[in-house]
Amino acid sequence: GAGVSQSPRYKVAKRGQDVALRCDPISGHVSLFWYQQALGQGPEFLTYFQNEAQLDKSGLPSDRFFAERPEGSVSTLKIQRTQQEDSAVYLCASSQGGRLEGYGYTFGSGTRLTVV
Amino acid sequence: AQKVTQAQTEISVVEKEDVTLDCVYETRDTTYYLFWYKQPPSGELVFLIRRNSFDEQNEISGRYSWNFQKSTSSFNFTITASQVVDSAVYFCALSEDNYGQNFVFGPGTRLSVLP
């Protein structure tokens, strides 16, 4: 597609529920990133994929967070046993190569997760 | 570790006024990359500019201009003749490598341009 697509756009989960957030990067983009943006704050890095390889997951806040990109295109961020502090916008971004291009990343519009 | 500070949490201006958004960064690397992104109410982050640490030339793009000063570790962003459509949250960001793995955002500045 023309841009990075994320679904769902909004998700309300009951505390303790598992959720799965999807990211469709720009076709052919090698690198894919997940960020968490709490209300009123800047995005914070969660994890990075180069093709299907998860090269950095240092930003994942706990072992309840898991991300995968099995075929090197679509990625899913899964949060198990959601808690209220998981409420945030989850942003996905992709870039063409393993290197930053002149345009940095292309970001999706995010999934706003609210845990009640 | 790298850090980005945007001291202005919120700014309000009247249309056609000029406005400068401040960004101060910290890094121990000599090679790094600075960015500005715009986040309108729709939520996506829109790339505005990338600057590498070796290029201190100021840049102008239409009503937007950027002032990069290594001596003060600042990368300020000025909007000239602001318009209502400029209302958004603006993020300054820093990456210490060309692979983009250590990409740190500032807390953002919310700009409101009033008609």
**Which of the four pLDDT bands, split at 50, 70 and 90, describes residue A101?**
low
Answer yes or no: is pLDDT of B99 > 70.
no
Spatial separation of the C-alpha atoms in residues B91 and B94, rounded to whole Å? 10
What is the C-alpha to C-alpha distance for residues B29 and B65, in angstroms, rounded to an integer?
25
Contact B44 A55 (CB under 8 A): no
Does residue B6 surpass a pLDDT of 90?
A: yes
| Per-residue pLDDT, B59 | 84
**CA–CA distance, B48 with B67 (Å, rounded to integer):** 14
Please indicate if any CB of chain B lies within 8 Å of the CB of A1. Answer: no
What pLDDT does residue A60 have? Answer: 95
In this prediction, residue B50 has a pLDDT band, given cuts at 50, 70 and 90, of: confident
Q: Go through B2-38 and write b for each residue having 16 or more CB atoms within 10 A of its CB, e for each that does not.
A: bebebebeebebeeeeebebbbbbebeeeebbbbbbb
In this predicted model, what pLDDT tens digit does every residue of A31-71 receive, in sequence order?
Answer: 899 999 999 899 999 998 999 999 889 899 999 999 999 99
3-class SS shares of chain A: helix, strand, coil, % to 5: 5, 45, 50
Contact between A94 and A4 under an 8 Å Cβ cutoff? The reply is yes
Q: Kindly report the number of other CB atoms within 10 A of residue B83's CB atom.
A: 12
Question: Is a pLDDT exceeding 90 seen at residue A2?
Answer: no
Contact by Cβ (8 Å): B58, B113: no
Phi, psi of A84 (to 5 degrees): -60, -35
- Please report the pLDDT score of residue B115 as a whole number: 95
Number of neighbouring beta carbons within 10 Å of residue A58: 10
* A109 vs B33, B43, B104: nearest CB: B43
Mean predicted confidence (pLDDT) in B7-18: 97
Q: What is the pLDDT of residue B17?
A: 97
Q: Do B107 and A48 count as a contact with CB atoms less than 8 A apart?
A: no
Q: Which range, of A43-47, A103-107, B3-7, B74-78, averages the lowest pLDDT?
A: A103-107
Cβ within 8 Å, pair A43-B105:
yes
Instruction: Identify which of A45, A107, A112 has the shortest CB distance to residue B44.
Output: A107
Nearest CA to A78 among A19, A24, A31? Answer: A19
DSSP chain B: --EEE---SEEEEETT--EEE--EEE-S-SS-EEEEEEE-TT---EEEEEEETT----EEETTEEEEEEGGGTEEEEEESS--GGG-EEEEEEEESSTT-SSEEE---EEEEEE-
Contact yes or no for A99 and B45 at CB 8 A:
no
Candidate from A3-12, A50-59, A91-100 with smallest mean pLDDT: A91-100
Dihedral of CA B93/B96/B100/B104: which sign?
negative
